[in-house]
Structures are given as C-alpha cells and as structure tokens.
Structure 1
Amino acid sequence: MKYILIAVQIVLISACVGSQKKNEGPRKVEVRNTDGKYRLYVDGAEFYVNGAGCEFGDIQNLASHGANSFRTWRTENGRKSGKEVLDEAQANGLMVLMGLDVHRERHGFDYNDSVKVQEQFDSLKNEVLKYKDHPALLGWSIGNELNLSYSNPKVWDAVNDISKMIHEVDGNHPTTTALAGISKNVADEIEVRCPDLDFLSIQMYGDVINIIKRVQDADWNGPYLVTEWGATGHWEVGSTEWGIPIEETSTEKANAIKARWEKAIKANDTTCLGSYVFVWEQKQERTPTWYGLILESGEETEATDFMQYTWTGKWPENLTPVIDSVLLTGKTKWDNVKLDPSQKCILKSMPVIPIMIPLSWIMKFCPI
C-alpha cells in the first residue's frame, strides 16, 4: 500500500522489491585511464558507481533497487561496527566507499598541533588495518568537506599522510577526500599538497547541475566521484517572509534529481566515476523529509523510483503517485500563508496516480 505524508510539504512514497546480487572474494580496486576515460575497476572489471549515501538505512532495500555501492562517513556509526556494515554490504552484493572521520578545523581542530595530528593518524591507521582486507571494501574516503570554513592548508598535508599510509598498508584500494563543491584555489591546494590521492570526491546539491563547468573552472582534469547530490539544499531555496526555507514536494525533488542526473552525472562520461545520491535513509536536517529518500517509517519517496530506473533501466512495478499541486486555504507555499490558531482551513492536494490503487493519507504538522 502507498501512503501520502503531509509535513509542511507533501511527500509521496511507495514500496518496491527488486533482485539482489552477491559478490564474494577479495577485491583489487583501482582507477584506470583508458583513452582519456577514467573508470574504477574491481578485479579487472569496470565498475561505474551507482549508489547512495547509507549510514543507518536499509542496505538490503538499497540493493533491491539496483545499486552496486554505498558510501559511509565513518567506520563506526554508533549502531553498527565497520565489520557489520561491510558484512551486510557483501551479503547484498554491494561495495562500500568507507569513510574515515577526519577532524575539521571548523569544529575546533588545530592542524598546527602536531601531537593531535599524530594521534588522529594513529587512530585512523588502526581503522584501516581492521577493515582493509574485507571483500566489500571499494575504497577509502579521507574526511568529509574539510574545505568548509578552513584556513589552515596543513589539513591537506594530514590527508596526504593518511593516504600514503593507506597505500603502504593496503595495496588494494584507492583513496579520495570529499569536498563541499570545488573551486580553483582548493583544487590547486590539493594538487600540490595531496598528490597521493587517487581521485577527488565532490559534493553539491542544487548547484550540481553546473558541476561539469565548476570542475573545468577549477582546472581539475583528473577523475572525480560525486559523493553527495540530490535534493536542492535548504540554503539554495527561497524562504518565507519570516525566514524559513521552503521545501520542495517529493515530486519536485524527483524531477530535480532526474535533471541533475542527466545533465551533471550521466553527461560526463570521461572523468566522472559515478555517484552516490544523498541519502538512502531518513535524515533530520532542517526538516524530517528534506534530504532523505526514505521516510522514518521506511516508506520510499518518489525519487527512489527514478534511481531504480537509473540503475537498472526498469521502473518499479508499483510507481509512486505524483503530486500535481498543493494548496492551503487556496494558496501555494510561496504565498506566505498565515493561519490563526482557531482558524479552520482546507488543504488540497492533487496526486496523479499511475495505477488505480487505494491511498492512505497521513497529515503531520512539524515545527521547524
């Protein structure tokens, strides 16, 4: 059964079941440039990344939609150990770009403190040694968005030292670091200070539509992976007159994701290694529904339909209803709707149902 959730905006959901794959045995992963076209190779076979960010999400569900990989942000997420995550990935035929949680300057870490930097290095080396031989491991992502609000370039020296260590103890897996966007000054800094990295990872949301131009403007000619992209960021949308960002409906998000896939990911067949859509789980950030492709209840939003089609070439049998319009007291979300606490109001939504199935409605009012 499908459900429609109304939570300031409406999110529509569906449930799909697909096939599963299982990969076994050790993996040799490398980046190759063949006639100017970069690709990852796993045990000699080309591997284009079709995946999602998935830290607390349903790995089996992700695999059933046709993904071949997911990325994490750390080895230990507080619920599962790195081994448990990798074992579950292997059981479902997925490979993992494993995150190494590197301290951020914006959170107070001082990269001039050589003692603290060495402690971080030693701790991460222990993590690498624990998981480097797991057959579900695709590679290592060293830090997440370390370029946000940073001023000390020594962070890149630390990243390069970690990458060198990984290549010394683990000859089977490539290294990368995930950037928030890309600019020429950061790309130049990394090229000089992080020559040991195998490829870059780039994270963009609404502006991902311009990623090919952004990469060109940064003079980055090497391979890159898009490790976060999806819904328009809450900092990229319009706001109410009282300063609250206006969330897109699940249909608007799905349409945006489709356009971004076609124009930003698929369009670059030479240096883009694939992508991880953000994020295959529920995530509370700004609202409970802004970024997650999955709701807290486990139901799926419309974007999961398109991602399955992208990964498999087949649409789910049970498609999610499409939202045609949403009106509250006859007004749209752009009309700065204000209601009196005692006022009765009418909310109208016009879903387009691909097949005639019964719909259940759930309405939630979530304070922001």
Structure 2
Amino acid sequence: MRTDTTTLGRTTTTAVRLAAAVVAVVLLAALLVVTRGPAASAAPTLLSQGRPTTASASDSTARTPAKAVDGSTATRWASGRTDAQWLRVDLGRTATVSRVVLRWEAAYAKAYRLEVSSDAKTWRTLSSTTAGKGGVVTTDVSGSGRYVRMLGVQRATTYGYSLWEFQVYGTVTAATAKPTPAPTPSPSTAPSTGVRVTGTQGKWQLTVDGAPWTVRGVTYGPSNADAPSYMADIASTGANTVRTWGTDASSAQLFDAARARGIRVVAGLWLDQGADYVGNTTYKADTLASITKTVTTYRDHGGLLMWDVGNEVMLGQGEAQRVAYAQYVEQVVQAIHRADPGHPVTSTDAWTGAWDYYRQYTPSLDLYAVNSFGGIGWVQQQWRDGGYTKPYLVTETGPAGSWEVPADANGVPRQPTDTAAARAYTDAWRAVTAAPGVALGATMFHYGVENDEPGVWLNLRTDGLKRPSWYAVQQAYRGTVAGNRPPVVGTTTASPSTGVAPGATVTITAPTTDPDGDAVTWRAYTTSRYVDGDGTLRPTAVTRAADGTLRITAPTTAGAWKIAVYALDGHGNVGIGTTSVRVR
C-alpha cells in the first residue's frame, strides 16, 4: 500500500527566482519586521552556518534541515503539514546567544517560540510570538546553551513551516571553548548484542541478542509523539514488532516507547516513488547521505529490529528504472551495513517479482520483503517457484484492498464485512506460519486510528475504537481473546441505492448482534471518495426504526456516495457496515 510523504508542491522556477529578490530586499525587510528583546552583550558572530541540524520532519529529501543553515537563500527546509513542528541547530559547544534571524518562505509561522538548551532535552524560551507575519525576522535575545530551535506552535498557511535560513548569532563561552560531548544515551537507547538472520536454505530464523524472534507485528500509523499512548495497546495484541515507512528525528520517541514495552521497530527508510533512479544522481547522492546519517543516529538503539529500504517503488516502473532502482538499493544496503553491522536490511515492494531484480542487482540484502493483501496465500508458492535463496518478511497484509475487489452497482468497491476482514487477518497469519524457516513473520496492516474512508477499510482501531480485526490479530498472536468484544455487523444494504433524490430518506439494513449482549448505539457517515477522491467521513444524522433498520438523509451532490454505519457497544468497540447510494 502506498504511503507517500507530504510535499508542499510549490517549489517552482519562479520561487527560485524570487529567492534572489529576497536577498536584494533583506535590509529593508529586516527594518520592517524586527522583534527586539534584551540587548546583546557582545558583537555577535554567526554560529549556526553549516552546523548539524535536525527537525521534527521534512516534506522532501530536497528540503532537509541542513538547507536552512547552508548560507543560501535559494534552498530551504520545509516541515510536515502540522502545527507541532520544529527545527534545531547544534552549535557544537555552549554559546551565549544574542540574536536569531528567521528568513521565512511563504509558509511561515503565525505563532512560534525560539528556545535554547544545553542537552536538547530541557528547553528555555528565548522569545515567543503569536503574531508572526513572515518575511525576515530578526530577534535580539539573551541566553546560553548548545542547541537552539524554532518551535512552531501555529501555522499561518495550510502548509507547514519553511525557512530559507535559520541563523543564530552569539559568542562562544570561553570556559567551554572545546566542543561539549553529545548527550549520554538513556538506558532505553543502550546498544543491543545484535539482530541476525541465521540458518541455511529453507531453515532460516531471525535472532535478537541470540534468541529466536518471529515477527508478530503491526504497521504503525499514529504520530511518533503519541507512541507512548499506543504502545501498551499494541503489546496487548501480542505484537512484538511495529513497522514504519520513514525514520527521522522524531522517531526517537517511537523507538523509546517500543523498547519500554519489549517491542522492536522495522524502521523504514523512505525512497521517493517517483524519483528518476536512472539519471537523478543528485537525488541519489543526497538521499544516501541522509540515510547514512539516520542509520548512524539509531544504530545503537535497543528498540531497533532491522532497516527497510523503500516501499513499493518498483512495481509501477519501466524496466530501466527497475534495474536502476535495484542497483541503487544495493548502494544503500552496503552503506547501511558499513554504518550498522548489527542489524539486517530488507527492501519492500508490492509484488514478489521485485525479488528477481533484488537477486540480480541487490545481493547484499539480508532478506526480502513484500506487501501482499488478497494474494498473501500465494507468496510462499511464488518464493518456491522463483528458486530464491533468502527468507522473506511480509511487511503489509490484511483484507483485500479497494484495488483488489469488484465494484457494486454504483461503481464503489465492495468492502469486506467486518467478519470477512477479521477472517482475512487470521488467514494471513496462517499463510505466514505455514512457511517456517522461510517466512520470518509479518506486520499486519494497519494500526491506525484515523476516522476516514481508508481507516474504515483497513484500520484495526478506526476512530480509536477496537474493530473485530483488532481481536483477530490478538487471537493470531496470543492464541486467545481477552475482554469485551465488538458488535458484529452483517451485510449492509441501502434502499433506494440508485437514482436517489438529493436529500431523500434512505433506509439502511445492517443486521447486528453483540457477543456480550451490550446495548448498541449508532453513528452514520457518508464519504465522497468515489465522487471526487475525498476520503473524509461526513457525519450524518441516523435514526433506528421499530423494525431495526436505520434511516439517514442522502447527500445533495450527485454521484456515488459510500455510507458507513457504526455500531458502538459503549466499551470502546465498534462494528462497521458499509454500502453505497448513487444520488441523481
């Protein structure tokens, strides 16, 4: 399943030309937008240029944190599209900070704080504002520390935050002229003995610190900052592993939370799915350097299981790109092995045919990986037929996706019922465990909590509520199910379902039982995903008739609308039934 990184989508040739204009007017802008704090005690020196930087996220490998301290106003850092984003520079030694200059791109902060720290853990505010206007902002401050960061509080646009330059001025504290050491790792980041793929043809196993480790996992969707809130729930399913698609500065929170629960991370290293792997040497060089830095940062963390390079890049490519991509992955794998010999490396695609390219062009991989939903039952046979000589990990699996099922009369893909979806997880785990010594485990898709159309289809905890599929994963991993269980919603239908007048009353039949005899309440949502691509769920009023059917009001926009009805038991569980109507 494709999980793309967010892009601003606004870096154009015109924007680059405008950057030159920014330089020309910088003196005027600095006079117009200046926030003055305490006066500096000495003539300031630019301390930040070229220094190591980290950030909460970057929207592209072309707009990394380092771009904000490279001295160029034609390159920039751009964050993810949320308010809680930050950019941090390591000055290398304790300094008295007297001035910070922010050269904002169009995506600026309305509210933000400038902070300083001696250990990158405890922060003191140097300056803050809730009325940012962008442009070039010079702030005189007073404070000392090794690390300085811009902490975004509220965005001014729908994009994230973007800085052409993040400049910190001050003087080095004489008593600490020598660079201070990096912070001492916490116990949760203590090095492990190592993770290995051991054994011989058809008799492989994964070992962690010398002990066998079968991957019983889930893919992880919430933010890294929220990992401490969810890791106990993940562990309660019997999972020992989570898989991600990308690793950045914020991933430390996920690694720490996982390690605290005895869980390991299959850490994704994102490779752009649309990159030109034949000719774009700059992208490949920059990405290789970034990956090497990330691996070096986390290689000693006790929460790390293995590295997973790329996700579903090869399937949609032509032959030349497939070969070039596999060759590039080989370069990445070799670099990872040099930086971190203590953890295996794999690479994920959406079909086992990618393994032919990996066998020929990426021999340094320790194991293969594949995302397979409706076709999971065939993976073991495809491995046999291909004559492969390395084991594999299933990195995504679950019920058949919207791309694998037939459409209903309205052209909307027929989503499996909750019962069928739960059974799919059971069958997937059986398919994995039917290949001992070859399949090293699986990470089920998906531990997500979003309440949207994709979340209705494949999340184990839609809107944070436990689905029957959550319990199916617990049954697979633990061999037993604990606690109150969710309502079971059968095949759901709508009447009328076609030629529906805008705003007309629609009757929904959703036969439902609750295994614990709990009283059930209802919610209903509509989504225009199959009208305009928007997977947002729109709440709609629902009433229950005496005959047990439900009544909702049809949307007023023409097209095929998907409907989801939620049966809630009051114990944090939900059963969901889906159907569709076509509004005329």
* Aligned match of 1:71: 243
Helix, strand or coil at the partner of 1:41: strand
How big is each residue's C-alpha offset from its partner over 1:111-169, in whole Å with a ceiling of 9 and x where there is no partner? Answer: 32323211111111111111111000001001111212123211111111111111112
Alignment of 1:88 with 2:251, yes or no, is: no
2:326 equivalent in structure 1: 156
Task: Report the 3-state secondary structure (helix = DSSP H, G, I; strand = E; otherwise coil) of the residue aligned with 1:225.
Answer: strand
Question: Whole-Å Cα distance in 2 between the matches of residues 147 and 53 of structure 1?
Answer: 20
Q: CA deviation at 1:209?
A: 2.0
- Whose relative contact order is higher, 1 or 2, with alpha carbons under 8 Å and at least 6 apart? 1
User: In 2, distance between residues paired with 1:241 and 1:35?
Assistant: 49
Q: Which residue of 1 aligns with 2:311?
A: 144
Alignment of 1:152-231 (within 5 A): 152=321, 153-183=323-353, 186-231=354-399
Q: 1:133 to 1:327 in 2, by over 3 A?
A: same
Segments of 4+ moved more than 4 angstroms: 22-25, 283-286
Deviations 1:240-283 (A, max 9, x none): 34432122222221122222322x21211120000000010135
Structure 1 pair 117/342, CA: closer, same or farther in 2 (3 Å)?
A: closer
1:81 maps to a residue whose letter is S
> Gaps (5+ residues) in structure 2?
1-186, 224-229, 530-584
Whether contact under 8 Å (2:346, 2:367) holds in the other structure is: yes
Aligned residue pair count: 333
1:227 counterpart SS class: strand
Distance 1:23 1:131 in 2: 12
Matched, 1:121 2:288: yes
Aligned to 1:365, the other structure's residue is in SS state strand
Q: What do residues 313-341 of structure 1 show as CA deviations (whole Å, max 9, x unaligned)?
A: 12122122222332323x8xxxx644223
Instruction: Quickly say closer, same or farther: Cα 1:278–1:316, change in 2 above 3 A.
Output: same
Per-residue CA deviations over 1:203-254 (Å, capped at 9, x if unaligned) read 1111112212222233324200000001211111111344321222222211
Structure in which a larger fraction of residues adopt strand: 2
Residue 311 (structure 1) aligns with: 477
Number of the residue aligned with 1:6: none
Query: Aligned match of 2:420 in 252, 257, 272?
Result: 252
**Per-residue deviation, 1:35:** 7.7
In structure 2, the residue matched to 1:276 is: 443
Give secondary structure in 1 for the equivalent of 2:443.
strand
- Find the residue that maps to 1:220 and give its secondary structure: coil
**Further displaced range: 337-346 or 130-139:** 337-346
Aligned-partner Cα distance in 2 for 1:285–1:362: 14
By how many angstroms is 1:285 displaced? 7.7
1:243 counterpart = 2:415:
no
- 300, 323, 339: which one aligns with 2:489: 323
Aligned equivalent of 2:519: 358
Name the SS for the 2:313 alignment partner. Answer: coil
Aligned-partner SS, 1:346: strand
Q: TM-score scaled by structure 1?
A: 0.84
% of aligned pairs identical? 27
Q: CA deviation at 1:284?
A: 7.4
Instruction: Tell me the secondary structure at the aligned position of residue 201 of structure 1.
Output: strand
What is the Cα deviation at residue 25 of structure 1? 4.9
Distance 1:233 1:195, change over 3 A: same
User: In 1, distance between residues paired with 2:380 and 2:352?
Assistant: 10
Shift of 1:363: 1.4
Which consecutive residues of structure 1, in runs of 5 or more, have no partner in the other structure? 1-21
Corresponding residue number in structure 1 for 2:80:
none
Could you tell me how far 1:38 is from its partner in structure 2?
A: 1.4
Hey, what does 2:267 align to over in structure 1? Answer: 98
| Secondary structure of 1:279's aligned partner | strand
SS in 1 for 2:247: coil
Cα separation, partners in 2 of 1:23 and 1:210, compared to 1, 3 Å? farther
Q: 1:294 aligns with which of 453, 461, 469?
A: 461
Distance 1:46 1:23, change over 3 A: farther
In 2, are the aligned partners of 1:71 and 1:227 still within 8 Å (CA)?
A: yes
* CA distance in 2: counterparts of 1:81 and 1:316, whole angstroms: 33
Q: d(CA) in 1 for partners of 2:475 and 2:190?
A: 28
Instruction: Show CA shifts across 1:18-71 (max 9, x none).
Output: xxxx98853210001168421110000000000000031622311122110100
Aligned equivalents of 1:158, 1:345: Cα separation in 2: 54
Give me the whole-angstrom Cα distance separating, in 1, the residues matched to 2:282 and 2:446. Answer: 35
Cα-Cα RMSD: 2.2
Aligned residue for 2:462, secondary structure, equals coil
Distance (Å, rounded) in 2 between the aligned partners of 1:328 and 1:60: 39
- TM-score under structure 2 normalisation? 0.54
The question of 1:33 aligning with 2:199 is answered yes
